Structure 1
Amino acid sequence: MGIITWIVLGALAGWIASMIVGKNSEMGAFANVCIGIAGAFIGGFVFNLITGVGFTGFNLWSLVVATIGSIILLLIINLVQKSRHDNANQPINR
């Protein structure tokens, strides 16, 4: 796949995932593309382990795989940010 295809698929997957997770208002186009491309790798790896078929090119299946991978990535990011925020608000005992 060409770089333009990765960018288009990444933008779509990142945008759909950000709407599902509820972070659409916090993310811009560049963040959607980055999350979508990283999500394509994550989703491809996970689906390849489970079904034996991961990322197959520019088609609906690949969009689904990339979107699910992007959702997984956004949920992990939310957990890390929440844990960092919770730890920052705890008092220091001396």
Structure 2
Amino acid sequence: MGLIILLVVGGVIGWLASLVMRTDAQQGVILNVVVGIVGALVAGFLITPLIGGAPITSGHFDVMSLLASFLGAVVLLAIVNLFRRGSVR
């Protein structure tokens, strides 16, 4: 059950991050889920220890972990855009 919740939350976070970075038209549902989950992992290792709280991958959902996962997904999309186009947008 935890994996299904992680996929759904990762998909929503990835979709919201793609809307913020204006890459939603170029990505599909699967890539949104991948970006959300990888962003959550990046945030779990890098951002969450700085702001405190538990990573979303531990199954603990609170506002700080969701915000950190969203920031991780936005940073991941910015890095992908930088390599793909040479600019972040």
TM range (shorter): 0.7 to 0.9
Residue pairs, 1:53-92, within 5 angstroms: 53-56=53-56, 57-83=60-86
- Name the residue aligned to 2:41: 41
Report Cα offsets for 1:29-67 as digits up to 9, x if no partner.
100100000000111222234223241523433321211
Higher gyration radius (CA): 1
TM-score (normalizing by structure 2): 0.81
Show structure 2 runs of 5+ residues with no match: none
- Distance (whole Å) between structure 1 residues aligned to residue 66 and residue 48 of structure 2: 15
- Name the residue aligned to 2:52: 52
Relative to structure 1, the CA distance from residue 50 to residue 58 in structure 2 (aligned partners, 3 Å threshold; closer, same or farther) is: closer
Percent of aligned positions that are identical: 34
Q: Output the amino acid matched with 1:78.
A: N
Structure 1: 4+ residue segments shifted above 4 A: none
CA RMSD of aligned residues (A): 1.7
TM-score (normalizing by structure 1): 0.77
Q: Output the amino acid matched with 2:36.
A: G
- Distance (whole Å) between structure 2 residues aligned to residue 49 and residue 58 of structure 1: 15
Q: Output the amino acid matched with 1:71.
A: V
Aligned residue pairs, count: 83
